[in-house]
A = this chain, B = another copy of it.
Amino acid sequence: MKVALDAMGGDFAPDVTIAGAIEAVSEYDTEVILVGDKQKLSESLRNKRYPSDRISIHHASEVVEMHESPSVALRRKKDSSIRRAVELVKNGGADAAVSAGHSGVAMATALFLLGKLPNVDRPAIATIMPSLTGYFLLIDAGANVDCKPENLLEFAHMGNAYYKAIFDMPSPRIALLSIGEEDTKGNELTKEAFKFLKSADLNFIGNIEGKDVFSGNADIIVCDGFIGNIVLKVSEGLAETIMKMLKREIANVTTGKLGYLMIKPAIRNFKKKTDYSEYGGAPLLGINGTCIISHGRSSARAIKNAIKVAGEMAKKKVHEIIANALSKGSHGGFSEKNFHGIKEDISYVKG
């Protein structure tokens, strides 16, 4: 598989993106096309050891900055590294694209250039999050802020197809995020979505409450992108806050310093297990191709894993599996109106 990497995207690009690419081609049976400023990338690559037949450079003269809006970036930066990476997927030069740059621009570009799959109304971001027993998939993690009940059903189908293909699990447990377990509990959106999910050909286990999100009781948790983004960010923020508060309290007790040294390997293990970089990035599901959006703060390890997942998704043709899964039902087709709706919706995603 050939993965086009937006080498200029992310807080630590291009050094970290290049390091991730080198790790990926060294560990996996994959090729990486570094997309970005040829001169800068060549300089960064110089003196590094890597299988040179597996890494190439595709020139792009522009870089999208974090403050730019998706619509402006799409219109004005035709030679951006994000855009050129996605173009490679479109014209067959690559099998998948990965970007740790401006998420909103990456999503809008993928949507604009690759288009939506037939029967998909709203492409969605699927993010892996750690749980008490392993991990779960949160969908939509931020692409669509105002949703219809049908969209949540679509997210469930897309998440299901992705999860089955990537994690080799025949029947992942799908839950709807709500404020009570009973089908009568929720807001207008979730109560309607519950009915759709219940009668769908999915392993729908019902509503899941906020307190059980991390319990490991569900493999896929479905919600609209506004809630999804808030759950994702609140969790990140709270985890950081808890660790900071714990460290502060530990520093305040006399035996704390020594005790901390003794549990430090455990903290390292905990951090490793809950580190987003293990999961590499979040695919935009529902588009006609493979595109992974990585965290702006991605480490080389995160980039490596994103390249790995992108390659797997392309190899297993997850987008075709999704198209097949959705061809059974009617979810509304592509229209300019819908598309612009999405473009605006995702314009908030910055990092």
Most chain-B Cβ atoms within 10 A of its Cβ — which of A179, A233, A246, A274? Answer: A179
- A232-B253 in contact given A132-B241, A179-B348 (Cβ < 8 Å): no
Within 8 A of B (CB), among A250-290: 250, 252-253, 255-256, 258-263, 265-267, 269-270, 273-274
A169 at the interface (CB under 8 A from B): no
0/1 interface trace, chain A 180-202, chain B, CB 8 Å (1 if under): 10101111101000000000000
0/1 interface trace, chain A 32-61, chain B, CB 8 Å (1 if under): 000000000000000000000000000000
A242 at the interface (CB under 8 A from B): yes
A215 at the interface (CB under 8 A from B): yes
Query: Binding site of A, secondary structure by majority: helix, strand, loop or mixed?
Result: helix
CB–CB B245/A274 < 8 A: yes
Q: List 7 A-B contacts (CB under 8 A).
A: A131-B241, A186-B348, A210-B230, A210-B234, A211-B234, A246-B266, A255-B262
CB–CB A249/B234 < 8 A: no
CB–CB A266/B239 < 8 A: no
Name the distance in Å between A33's Cβ and chain B's nearest Cβ: 31
A286, B231: Cα distance in complex, Å: 28
Name the distance in Å between A58's Cβ and chain B's nearest Cβ: 31
A185, B240: Cα distance in complex, Å: 24
Name the distance in Å between A35's Cβ and chain B's nearest Cβ: 27
Q: Which residues of B contact A188 (CB under 8 A)?
A: 145-146
Name the distance in Å between A272's Cβ and chain B's nearest Cβ: 9
CB–CB A180/B146 < 8 A: no
Q: Which residues of B contact A132 (CB under 8 A)?
A: 241, 244-245
A311 at the interface (CB under 8 A from B): no
Number of residues from A at the complex interface, CB < 8 A: 64
Q: Which residues of B contact A239 (CB under 8 A)?
A: 238, 242
A252, B235: Cα distance in complex, Å: 25
Name the distance in Å between A145's Cβ and chain B's nearest Cβ: 4
Name the distance in Å between A165's Cβ and chain B's nearest Cβ: 27
CB–CB A234/B234 < 8 A: yes
CB–CB A250/B230 < 8 A: no
Q: Which residues of B contact A234 (CB under 8 A)?
A: 210-211, 213-214, 231, 234-235
Q: Which residues of B contact A131 (CB under 8 A)?
A: 241
Name the distance in Å between A126's Cβ and chain B's nearest Cβ: 17
Q: Which residues of B contact A227 (CB under 8 A)?
A: 226-227, 230
A249, B214: Cα distance in complex, Å: 17
- A145-B238 in contact given A246-B267, A253-B263 (Cβ < 8 Å): no
Name the distance in Å between A40's Cβ and chain B's nearest Cβ: 30
A348, B252: Cα distance in complex, Å: 42
Q: Which residues of B contact A190 (CB under 8 A)?
A: 226
CB–CB B258/A262 < 8 A: yes
Closest CB pairs A-B (n = 8): A259-B262, A210-B233, A211-B237, A249-B266, A259-B263, A185-B348, A255-B262, A210-B234
